[in-house]
Structure 1
Amino acid sequence: MRDADPLVRAAAFEALAGVGCPSPLDGAADEALHDPAWQVRVGAARGLAGASREVAADPLIKALADPHLDVRKAAVITLGRWVADPAVADALRAALDDSDADVRGYARRALAA
């Protein structure tokens, strides 16, 4: 996860979802949500799907303000797992006003589930 290539880092973080995003890797994924490369931030948002809601929800809610639409979309999709959490549901409702149609659509889908 310290590779110089952002696409390699992104793939490594995304793979965390498949292995449960264990500690301390969940913390590394949280930190990666602030990486300068948007691809790494997307990978981290997707990888946090394997983490617990307690670890992942707040950082992903903050990621909904990311300037890159793909990061916001990945965050919305991952947050959809925890729509029963009131803070997550509130964040997804706020994402219904996002400037990107995909983000809005995935938020709408998550809230309807």
Structure 2
Amino acid sequence: MNEHRWADALTHVVARTPETDAAVDTDQERADHHREVSDDLQAVITRVGATHKGDTKEVILANLQRALEASGHWPQPRSWLEAVAADMEVGHLYRCGTE
């Protein structure tokens, strides 16, 4: 029986090189970037929470959305903004990340 060796041929075609390694983010780089974004989101949430204590959910949500956009973040999902604003309305500070 004649068996094809596709795996060997494919490995040769997509072999790692310094150029391909430089073009691909490592897992650590992605984790570091995620941490930076989470830290920045948290800073915005903390700032909005401190300046809008006692405000309604709608006021908090509008200010949170403006503050996030002013910080350079993409528009966040409405459901997430509502959850963060709802926590803030009752005096809880929403926490980003896994800590």
TM-score, with structure 2 as normaliser: 0.24
Q: Which has the higher helix share?
A: 1
Question: Comparing both chains, which one has the higher relative contact order based on Cα–Cα distances under 8 Å and sequence gaps of 6 or more?
Answer: 2
